[in-house]
Chains A and B, each alone.
Chain A
Amino acid sequence: MADNESQVVTDSGRGSISDLWKKEDYWAIWLGFILLVVGMILYFPNAPEGTDKKIAEANASLEAESAKAPFKTIAWYKAVDAKKKLKATSSPVGKAIKKFTSKPHKWSSNPFNALFMGEEAAKAKQAKAQTKYDAAKKSEADALTAAKTAEDSAAAKNFEDESLNTAAAKAIGDWRTAHSKTSSAKKKAGAKPYNQLVYLIGLMIALAIFFGIGMLAMGHSMPKFMIGFLFVFLISVLAFAAASNSTMKHYGIGYAAWAIIFGLVISNTIGTPKWVMPAVQTEYYIKTGLVLLGAEILFGKILSIGIPGIFVAWVVTPTVLITTYLFGQKIIKIPSKTLNITISSDMSVCGVSAAIATAAACRAKKEELTLAVGLSLVFTSVMMIVMPAFIKAVGMPHVLGGAWMGGTIDATGAVAAAGAFLSDKALYVAATIKMIQNVLIGVIAFCVAVYWCAKVDRVEGQRVSWMEIWYRFPKFVIGFIAASIIFSLIYQSMGKDVAYVLVDHGAIRGLSKIFRGWFFCLAFASIGLATNFRELKEYFKGGKPFILYICGQTFNLILTLTMAYIMFYLVFPEITAKI
């Protein structure tokens, strides 16, 4: 990642006003913010009709139900469901953007289905899924009837009979499980024909122009960049297509891994063609993606599960990160500090996304990021399978198990899979803990960038002035943090419910998240295309990164479990009871 010295604002020792249009850090900020502003313009005026009224009705119902029963009633869940449906992404503009920017679709045996599905194939898929959907609907209806009967029985005793309350809560829980299955089955039964190829060509041209303008301003040849971009984009499409294979989805092998693998295969066999190299701009793509990611770091989310969540995610995680880093430096003696911090952050925070942010903040080498992503991938797949099985086997309470998995399994997607596999309750806790941990990325990237400028990158014994730190500071981090602060403030000012509609399911999921995914994929494809396998091997010498990961993760597992138990069962049992 740090190959492109001329393109990095840091280390110059001085700055000039022309940096604003000549350096990629600033271009990452401008391009990222253009997309964020477009997202706000497109989605903020497009709330579904009657949003305020529907939210008010749902909240009134929630308030009444909350004061009525000692468990979450059917009406309570229905009110939450009503709020959940309100999304700005459901507007015509949201649907159009989704169609135009969509990644290759899920497929199982025919790879062409990633890009194309005809009318007949869609109908056959629909028919196959319809049977399951009908069965799921029936199960849900039966579960709802049983839940209503149980709730009525509890209500008849004025919710004072403990055993009836417990029975009602369990019956309602069963109904919610059936409800989740129906929702998934409904999605599959709604299969429609598609031809993504046309849209992908359009998207490729749009992105080539989007990044090409910046390249031109930075003094590069725009036509050469655009020609090379065609190849990098093609690798990215292939990576998304491979990640969309159903088996790969089961293992959690996502586009990042595939983009690196495909790039590596090309660069280490036939060699990356010279005409592609002008578009192999890892830092440019990654920094622009990170500015967009900043908007997804919403600080209001950290209170989603109350104080226990903050302790599990925001106390344990930095403790594990710092301890693992120090362990790597002092005990294992990892030769590269940037490799050490990238692996430590990847392992303790949230896998690939944390590795990207940290690696960019400390200017780690592309091989180091590749290694961190590879380690995370292997351990995530194993932990996703082993942890829920272990929790079930030892009979661990699902709130504790959920908090444990949310705090320790690296990859965000794997946390959802492992949590949901255990139970809905475990999913809610695991996902919320992981989400709070995700928010930590912003703070960690900022602290790592400052620490590297002030401490690591200075000459021994040298005192670094604030101006010097500013000159060296990776400027895109400012855009990353600014996006996070601005979107967090907007989120708070709107209030949670409206922000869910316009920010969460509008500007973020409807635009920034989509492009951030594309940009990261382009970055990983570029890493693969510019990496020599022999160089990569050097970083794994002595298996030190592996030892660091194992030791750090072991410490993480012990500390997270201990903290989760103390917080959810000893200090705040009343919060656990609510979940």
Chain B
Amino acid sequence: MLRGVVRLLLCVLVILLFMFGVAPLMERAPFIRPIVQFIEERDIDAGALYYTDIEEFSEAAIHMENTMDYPPLDRPE
């Protein structure tokens, strides 16, 4: 039992290290930082499972449906 508790505490420590140490540190990498800042700014849940879980999909769907139903006269560009 004691061994189990020690193992549990070690696992919790690893999770905490990842959550508050490694993961935030990795975010500082120049190639990750821009997208991280963007996700934070737009408050996007990148872990969402299905299209109904995320507001951006609702916005995209209503935009595309109206684009198909009420398209502009010609090419915009």
Residues of A within 8 A of B (CB): 59, 62-63, 65-72, 76, 80, 83-84, 106, 159, 165-166, 169, 180-181, 184, 187-188, 242-243, 245-257, 261, 265-266, 268-271, 293, 296, 301, 303-306, 350-353, 384-385, 388-389, 411-414, 416-421, 427-432, 434-435, 438, 496, 500, 504-505, 508-509, 513, 516-517, 520, 577-579
Contacts and interface: CB of A to CB of B under 8 A. Distances in A.
A517 B53 CA distance: 9
B60 to A, nearest CB: 3
A429 B5 CA distance: 49
B40 to A, nearest CB: 7
Given A257-B47, A417-B39, 17 more contacts: A70-B76, A83-B62, A187-B43, A243-B47, A251-B23, A254-B45, A265-B11, A269-B8, A270-B7, A304-B64, A411-B49, A414-B46, A420-B44, A421-B34, A432-B64, A434-B57, A517-B49
Q: What secondary structure prevails in chain B residues at the interface with A? A: helix
B36 interface: yes
Contact of A306 (B5, B45, B51, B68): B68
Q: What secondary structure prevails in chain A residues at the interface with B? A: helix
Interface string B26-66: 01000110111011111111111111111011111111111
5 contacts: A251-B47, A351-B49, A384-B46, A416-B48, A435-B51
B17 interface: no
A248 B31 contact: no
A364 B47 CA distance: 23
B43 A188 contact: yes
Contact of B77 (A169, A434, A520): A169
A250 B11 contact: no
B46 to A, nearest CB: 4
A513 B54 CA distance: 11
B75 A384 contact: no
Interface residues of B, number: 56
B13 to A, nearest CB: 11
Given A304-B64, A385-B31, A421 B38 contact: yes
